[in-house]
Amino acid sequence: DTAVSQTPKYLVTQMGNDKSIKCEQNLGHDTMYWYKQDSKKFLKIMFSYNNKELIINETVPNRFSPKSPDKAHLNLHINSLELGDSAVYFCASSQFGRYGYTFGSGTRLTVV
Amino acid sequence: QQQVKQSPQSLIVQKGGISIINCAYENTAFDYFPWYQQFPGKGPALLIAIRPDVSEKKEGRFTISFNKSAKQFSLHIMDSQPGDSATYFCAASVGSSNTGKLIFGQGTTLQVKP
């Protein structure tokens, strides 16, 4: 039973399109995150939600909009995709905030 | 100040050898320092973590050494095995428990040769 699951695993799309990535955790954690891993494997936080409330919003273009319908789900919608958005996007969750993240397997987004 | 600098970028070690990865930070507000291991196609997984009031923590073949005055910490992998070949990330945590975040180093790709 996957603890943090993301769908889809791969996403190839054209510039200008809108796409969504879904994340679900079955660990009962209160906090969920989106991280972006670039081509050099650098991991950078984008957003965090605690009990459906947006807590962290790093300097991310407003084309990226997270939504948390409940504390087990955190989705990421991206409008007007650009080539530079190509990366692996990781969802993570934790019970004790910034301690002990559990990451999903990632969504590899390729914008062509 | 919010950065964590990690070195080396890549590392090749013979089976049975010791792998050492180093990290440095500036922000003295960081108070939790985990290491994550990532295999290709997978998400990072928590390996071991330390708080700054402890100078060393060991779990099996993995040891974190922490030098608070120098603002440096390192991961030592003893008796390195080919199965340890992965990318390793150090991280530092800042903020309150529910509003804080992990800041990651740049990653080290470790290859253990048989």
Say whether pLDDT at B109 is over 90. Answer: yes
Q: If pLDDT is split at 50, 70 and 90, which confidence band does B2 have?
A: confident
Size of interface A-B (CB pairs under 8 A): 70
How far apart, in whole angstroms, are the C-alpha atoms of residue B62 and residue B46? 12
- pLDDT tens-digit readout, B52-68: 899 999 999 999 999 99
Report the pLDDT value the prediction gives residue A53, as an integer from 0 to 100: 85
Nearest to B46 among A50, A56, A100 (CB): A100
Say whether pLDDT at B1 is over 70. Answer: no
Report the pLDDT value the prediction gives residue A97, as an integer from 0 to 100: 66
Between CA A71 and CA A76, with CA B39 as vertex, the angle to 5 degrees is 30
Chain A residues within an 8 Å CB radius of B87: 41
Say whether pLDDT at B25 is over 70. Answer: yes
Q: B11 and chain A: CB distance < 8 Å anywhere?
A: no
Return the residue of A nearest to B40 by Cα.
Answer: A105
Say whether pLDDT at B38 is over 80. Answer: yes
Tell me which residue has tokens 């990651």: B104
How far apart, in whole angstroms, are the C-alpha atoms of residue B113 and residue B65? 25
How far apart, in whole angstroms, are the C-alpha atoms of residue A106 and residue A104? 6
Q: What is the DSSP letter of B42?
A: S
Between CA A42 and CA B99, with CA B5 as vertex, the angle to 5 degrees is 70
Cβ B99–A40 below 8 Å, yes or no? no
Q: If pLDDT is split at 50, 70 and 90, which confidence band does B112 have?
A: very high
Query: What is the average per-residue pLDDT within A5-29?
Result: 96
Q: How many CB atoms lie within 10 A of CB A68?
A: 19
Say whether pLDDT at B95 is over 90. Answer: no
Mean pLDDT check: name the lowest of A96-105, B18-27, B58-67: A96-105
Cβ A42–B44 below 8 Å, yes or no? no
Q: If pLDDT is split at 50, 70 and 90, which confidence band does A41 have?
A: very high
Cβ B93–A99 below 8 Å, yes or no? yes
Report the pLDDT value the prediction gives residue A56, as an integer from 0 to 100: 80
